[in-house]
Structure 1
Amino acid sequence: MKKWISLFGVVFVTLWLAGCSAESNVKKGDKFYAIGEYFEAAAEYRKAYMRTKPKERAKRGERAYKAADCYRRINYTSRAIGSYQNAARYNYPDSIVYFYLAEMQRKNGDYKKALQNYEIYLQYKPDDVLARHGLQGCTMAPIWKQKPTLYSIKKEPLLNARRSDYCPMLTGDDMDMLYLTSTRPQATGNELSGITGIKSGDIFISRKDDKGKWQSPEQVESEINSEYDEGACAFSPDGKTMYFTRCTHDPEYPRYAQIYTSDRTDASWGAPKLLEITKDTLSSFAHPTVSPDGRWLYFVSDMPGGLGGLDIWRIEIGEHGLGGVDNLGEPINTPGNEMFPSFRPNGDLYFSSDGHVGMGGLDLFKAEQDSTGTWTVENLKYPMNSQGDDFAMTFDGLHNRGFFSTNRGDARGWDHIMSFECPEVLLTVKGWVYEKDGYELPEGLVYMVGNDGTNLKLSVKGDGSFTQEIQPNVDYVFLGTCKGFLNHKEQLRVDTSSVSKEYVLQFELASITAPVLVDNVFYAFDSAELTDSSTLALDSLVTLMEDNPNITIELSSHCDYRGRDEYNIRLSQRRAESVVKYLIAHGVATDRLTPIGYGETRPKVIRKRLTERYPFLHENDTLTEAFIKKLPEEQQEICNALNRRTEFRVLRTTYGLFDTPDAPKNNTEAKEQDSATPQE
């Protein structure tokens, strides 16, 4: 009898201790949950569930639900399904358990069971939009899988490690740099995240080699990466500013994601600065992206005023700071979560959502805006979307190809990067803005006007280039501009094409402050008579005067040092006047032109660009007679040819803007002849 009493006592104490331990696990789990450490919270709730007697049905149901909620948040889909089923089995009192169970089953590709649980939930909440969208998704997903779109996708093993890699972002003048977020072992810090159970994310970069192949990602070496979670980066159109998300750790407070900026100095990124979007300190701000025109910063937040869950917002980026915030509203935002916005350069917005009709988890969507500002939203369907989370697209320039993130097929819910491509007929124009006889002009702007109503202002990249999508059967006019330079106009007619085609335009801008060479102007031997081969260059000069109707110029001719000084002055004067006569004959007003012959008095000063063609010359060398005679004979002839030139320089930029323009200078053609060494 004493033996049985003793055994009963042991069992009682064991069960009592288990009950106390279960309560302790719940308290620990609640603490972890409150600060967003769902991985740690899930472990505690699971222990509490296992230590709770089956007869305590209410407690078991509540603890199973809490564990399921954590598993759902960290993408442990299979465990979430099991825990939600346990919660339902133990009569968890809130019907929401059926909604989340259906969500997880849909995310697991089990559309039949998900449909059943959506229907159960809708009996309690018949007007729930998210449940109705989920129900519709269970019907549409199998149809989309049977009829895939033209998109093709491919795994990218080189870009992925054994943990999570996500949020790719292409940048660079040639889209030859790929930034991504990774939790691979090389990430900063040694502790595992209480949110996910793996390392905190850092920003890495992969570059293309000379053969166009992507290299293994390397950690970005700057203060951007820290012991905290960093990721989801984006860039300003000029590539000089990075926006990224950082989520800090605090054992006492919830984790709120915030957006930081970093500016590029030389080849490295500077110290990050917090971007204060609002004074709200109790909301998250994440997933930044910049509109193609650089005017708007789009981001994700759960701040008050949204439609529910996480919404996509935007704020204007001004010269003197940020403007007010705007919620994109319907039809983009829903009562669910809209996340990871990104842009294709043509202005189309891409984002992910679990609130629209989709295949499960986060689906990828495309949003187009018409001339009235109205958005239309389209699901990208299969194979871009799957039953898992599909998100964070980035594009290779204007092409409908690039990279995106997905956790499809990964039982642990870890994210990986895949590439995508969709065949299409893409018509583009690529242009270069550069100084005449000089280098690219990265500060240039190109104005683009089409007879279809197009009216755009295009910024150029660091190499002076721009690429823009164009439409068939449209006439375009492009005006290349840059401060300190004359304008240059190009016209383009785009024909219908059944294949992709790129048109190429050159915007060679003439300086306002420095002499500009008129290349390929030729005269008859020892004469001022223009040859037929000069026509193309002179016609270009006529066009330049037409494109810049408010300038007056000095048209100058120069000789080499050979021959008598007086003869060279007279010959160069006649040659300058010959060019002026040609321009007048082709419609340029006489009072906009001043011909001057300088003979040999102004030898050419070498600019840097010319040293690439003639390595024996150096920047700022002046081709005087003394300088030239020290050179070998072959190099002397090159320098003499460089000195024999026709140039112009801008005198005024206000011609025709006032009532009494300056009177033109009169230059009398010299009639006196002299004998000298002939000038070519």
Structure 2
Amino acid sequence: MNIKTTPIVLFFLTVVLSFNLNGQTPILSGLNKVVLSNNEEVECSLPLLSGDGQILYFVKTFSENNIGGIKGGQDIWFSHRIDSTTWQTATNLEALNNVYNNMVIGVSSITNTLYLLNTYSSPNRWKYSIAVSTLTEDSSWSEPRELDIKFDADGDFRSFYTLPDEELIFLSAEGKSTLGKEDIYVYYKEGDSWAGPVSLGENINTQGSEIAPFYSPDLKALFYSSNGREGFGDFDIYMVRKTGDQWNDWSEPINLGETVNSNSFDAYLSTYPSGETFFVSNRSGKAATIFRGNLSFLEEEIPEPVDSTEYLTPAPDSLIVQDSLPEYYVVQVLAMPTGRAPKAGFFDNLGDVKIEMSGGRDGLERYYLGRYETLKEAISRKNEVVKMGYYDAFVRAIMKYAEF
């Protein structure tokens, strides 16, 4: 399916780009609370999916069921997926927990390997290293071993994210070069050794704290949380895209909006090629809770540059007003990485319905049905589709641009 829009003048395009990323506005839809326990209201954080998407790893704090009890450190827990929105009651990953702070900071997509905060060796090493454990053939976890890398961090508060291929490690910490409190840095592989830390620069780091980094290679996007910008509350979640070859080449941060961010603490977002996304919030005013949704992008077609001074002429006000109107609405039922086909029979429950597909600049192909003139019609159809088992379905507006 090709969604076509007519060109817009450069003046109006500049206004749009100040509010989105490369003509794409991030949208998190289908939001729901992830229920992982029937009888325990405790702090949960750091949700990360296994490579096959079937296991959710996360951290519990102040739980009487942790190895060290309520007053002990954080423990790693995990839950197996039942279906797209429900999970089994979580289990303590006892083999990798002790009375100190334990957490998964990365999951290998190729092997059953977990990257861990290191509290397994001598305490004087904890500040300088992370650890790795692999699931063996007898379904037991290997003794965590240190990864050969030292981190330049001064403060007690640190957060990590290790990419699945172990080529990049992002660190949030306070150090000698931080702009304010915690800044975000990156370490990268140079042969068999590590280079870094490299600050991600002033587009990201502020006089406040930047924490909980998560990098999505397919989107070339970094998600993180900050209290150093004017947002909705305490820590808000932001997104930036890589714009160049250097590690300080980033787009302007975009706040993910009030669907994600609340007047309280919001952080630890992780997202995957399917669009499935998790984050943590204590918007309820009680313990921090894991939420799940589907991340997509409202795409606005950007015209190819034309060597003409006419494109520098501001558009009439009436033209700009018209540009904000949707042309029609569709119901999206699935997003897949480019080149990967849906499972056979995935759309069978929809019956004899035409499914259209379009590719996006973010490396995803989206599958839609319908073209509805009003939002009310589209929402009604979306509700029908959800009842058929397509729980990630949501309404997408296809924007209309006026001609000049």
Do they fold alike, i.e. is TM over 0.5? yes
Q: CA 1:211–1:164 in 2, change beyond 3 Å: closer, same or farther?
A: closer
Verify: 1:338 aligned to 2:216, yes or no: no
Return the offset for 1:221: 3.5
- The whole-number CA distance in structure 1 between the counterparts of 2:28 and 2:197 is 37
- The whole-number CA distance in structure 2 between the counterparts of 1:153 and 1:309 is 31
Give 2:175's aligned residue: 303
Give 1:166's aligned residue: 45
Q: Residue 232 of structure 1 contacts residue 287 of structure 1 at CA under 8 Å; is this kept in 2?
A: no
Q: Residue 152 of structure 1 contacts residue 383 of structure 1 at CA under 8 Å; is this kept in 2?
A: no
- The whole-number CA distance in structure 2 between the counterparts of 1:187 and 1:172 is 25
Give 2:353's aligned residue: none
Q: Residue 161 of structure 2 contacts residue 213 of structure 2 at CA under 8 Å; is this kept in 1?
A: yes
Give 2:289's aligned residue: 416
- The whole-number CA distance in structure 2 between the counterparts of 1:497 and 1:402 is 16
Q: CA 1:235–1:419 in 2, change beyond 3 Å: closer, same or farther?
A: same
Q: Which amino acid aligns with 1:177?
A: I
> TM (normalized to structure 1)?
0.37
> TM (normalized to structure 2)?
0.60
Return the offset for 1:239: 4.2
Verify: 1:387 aligned to 2:296, yes or no: no
**Aligned counterparts, 1:618-657, within 5 A:** none
Return the offset for 1:408: 1.4
Return the offset for 1:323: 2.5
Please list the CA deviations of residues 53-110 of structure 1 after superposition, one character each: whole Å capped at 9, or x if unmatched. Answer: xxxxxxxxxxxxxxxxxxxxxxxxxxxxxxxxxxxxxxxxxxxxxxxxxxxxxxxxxx
Work out which of the residue numbers 240, 244, 265 in structure 1 matches 2:136: 265
Q: Residue 244 of structure 1 contacts residue 287 of structure 1 at CA under 8 Å; is this kept in 2?
A: no
Verify: 1:234 aligned to 2:106, yes or no: yes
Return the offset for 1:230: 1.3
Work out which of the residue numbers 181, 186, 189 in structure 1 matches 2:65: 186
Q: CA 1:179–1:257 in 2, change beyond 3 Å: closer, same or farther?
A: farther
**Aligned counterparts, 1:149-298, within 5 A:** 151-159=29-37, 161-173=40-52, 175-183=53-61, 184-190=63-69, 192-193=70-71, 199-209=72-82, 213-222=86-95, 224-246=96-118, 259-266=130-137, 267-275=139-147, 277-278=149-150, 282-284=154-156, 286-291=158-163, 294-298=166-170
Work out which of the residue numbers 359, 368, 383 in structure 2 matches 1:499: 368
- The whole-number CA distance in structure 1 between the counterparts of 2:240 and 2:167 is 18
- The whole-number CA distance in structure 2 between the counterparts of 1:233 and 1:330 is 25
> Larger radius of gyration, structure 1 or 2?
1
Give 2:194's aligned residue: 322
Q: CA 1:313–1:150 in 2, change beyond 3 Å: closer, same or farther?
A: closer
Please list the CA deviations of residues 331-386 of structure 1 after superposition, one character each: whole Å capped at 9, or x if unmatched. Answer: 11111111111133432211111112211211001111124552111100102000
Verify: 1:364 aligned to 2:240, yes or no: no
- The whole-number CA distance in structure 2 between the counterparts of 1:384 and 1:211 is 19
- The whole-number CA distance in structure 2 between the counterparts of 1:270 and 1:214 is 26
Q: CA 1:171–1:497 in 2, change beyond 3 Å: closer, same or farther?
A: closer
Q: CA 1:279–1:231 in 2, change beyond 3 Å: closer, same or farther?
A: closer
Please list the CA deviations of residues 264-321 of structure 1 after superposition, one character each: whole Å capped at 9, or x if unmatched. Answer: 3333322223445437574457322234664211111212122221111111135523
Q: Residue 259 of structure 1 contacts residue 288 of structure 1 at CA under 8 Å; is this kept in 2?
A: no
Q: CA 1:331–1:219 in 2, change beyond 3 Å: closer, same or farther?
A: same
Please list the CA deviations of residues 469-517 of structure 1 after superposition, one character each: whole Å capped at 9, or x if unmatched. Answer: 99469xx9xxxxxxxxxxxxxxxxx9x97729xxxxxxxxxxxxxxxxx
- The whole-number CA distance in structure 2 between the counterparts of 1:347 and 1:238 is 20
Q: CA 1:497–1:405 in 2, change beyond 3 Å: closer, same or farther?
A: closer
Counterpart secondary structure, 2:77? strand
- The whole-number CA distance in structure 1 between the counterparts of 2:366 and 2:47 is 32
Verify: 1:406 aligned to 2:281, yes or no: yes
Q: Residue 307 of structure 1 contacts residue 329 of structure 1 at CA under 8 Å; is this kept in 2?
A: no
Q: CA 1:388–1:294 in 2, change beyond 3 Å: closer, same or farther?
A: same
**Aligned counterparts, 1:348-363, within 5 A:** 348-363=221-236
Q: Which amino acid aligns with 1:428?
A: P
Q: Which amino acid aligns with 1:410?
A: G
Return the offset for 1:203: 0.3
Counterpart secondary structure, 1:158? coil
Give 2:373's aligned residue: none
Q: CA 1:416–1:400 in 2, change beyond 3 Å: closer, same or farther?
A: same
Q: Residue 247 of structure 1 contacts residue 257 of structure 1 at CA under 8 Å; is this kept in 2?
A: no
Q: CA 1:471–1:284 in 2, change beyond 3 Å: closer, same or farther?
A: farther
- The whole-number CA distance in structure 2 between the counterparts of 1:497 and 1:155 is 25
Return the offset for 1:181: 0.3
Q: CA 1:385–1:281 in 2, change beyond 3 Å: closer, same or farther?
A: closer
Q: Residue 258 of structure 1 contacts residue 274 of structure 1 at CA under 8 Å; is this kept in 2?
A: yes
Q: Residue 181 of structure 1 contacts residue 231 of structure 1 at CA under 8 Å; is this kept in 2?
A: yes
Q: Over aligned residues, Cα RMSD in angstroms?
A: 3.7
- The whole-number CA distance in structure 2 between the counterparts of 1:384 and 1:290 is 23
Q: Residue 219 of structure 2 contacts residue 241 of structure 2 at CA under 8 Å; is this kept in 1?
A: no
- The whole-number CA distance in structure 2 between the counterparts of 1:355 and 1:278 is 27
- The whole-number CA distance in structure 2 between the counterparts of 1:165 and 1:343 is 21
Return the offset for 1:228: 0.5
Give 1:557's aligned residue: none
- The whole-number CA distance in structure 1 between the counterparts of 2:260 and 2:239 is 11
**Aligned counterparts, 1:567-586, within 5 A:** none
- The whole-number CA distance in structure 1 between the counterparts of 2:225 and 2:191 is 30
Return the offset for 1:212: 7.7
Q: CA 1:284–1:232 in 2, change beyond 3 Å: closer, same or farther?
A: farther
Give 1:591's aligned residue: none
* Unmatched tracts of structure 2, length 5 or more: 1-25, 298-331, 342-356, 370-404
Please list the CA deviations of residues 191-236 of structure 1 after superposition, one character each: whole Å capped at 9, or x if unmatched. Answer: x43xxxxx421001101248984111101132x2100111252123
Counterpart secondary structure, 1:499? strand
Return the offset for 1:417: 1.1
Q: CA 1:378–1:306 in 2, change beyond 3 Å: closer, same or farther?
A: same
Q: Residue 155 of structure 1 contacts residue 417 of structure 1 at CA under 8 Å; is this kept in 2?
A: yes
Please list the CA deviations of residues 532-559 of structure 1 after superposition, one character each: whole Å capped at 9, or x if unmatched. Answer: xxxxxxxxxxxxxxxxxxxxxxxxxxxx
**How many residues get paired?**
284
Q: Residue 339 of structure 1 contacts residue 352 of structure 1 at CA under 8 Å; is this kept in 2?
A: yes
Q: Which amino acid aligns with 1:390?
A: D
- The whole-number CA distance in structure 2 between the counterparts of 1:163 and 1:292 is 28
Counterpart secondary structure, 1:408? coil
Counterpart secondary structure, 1:312? strand
Q: Which amino acid aligns with 2:73?
A: S
Higher helix share: 1
Q: CA 1:289–1:239 in 2, change beyond 3 Å: closer, same or farther?
A: farther
Give 1:116's aligned residue: none
Q: Residue 262 of structure 2 contacts residue 283 of structure 2 at CA under 8 Å; is this kept in 1?
A: yes
**Aligned counterparts, 1:653-668, within 5 A:** none
Q: Residue 209 of structure 2 contacts residue 228 of structure 2 at CA under 8 Å; is this kept in 1?
A: yes
**Aligned counterparts, 1:53-64, within 5 A:** none
Counterpart secondary structure, 2:338? strand
Higher RCO (C-alpha under 8 Å, 6+ residues apart): 2
Q: Residue 152 of structure 2 contacts residue 197 of structure 2 at CA under 8 Å; is this kept in 1?
A: no
Give 1:455's aligned residue: none
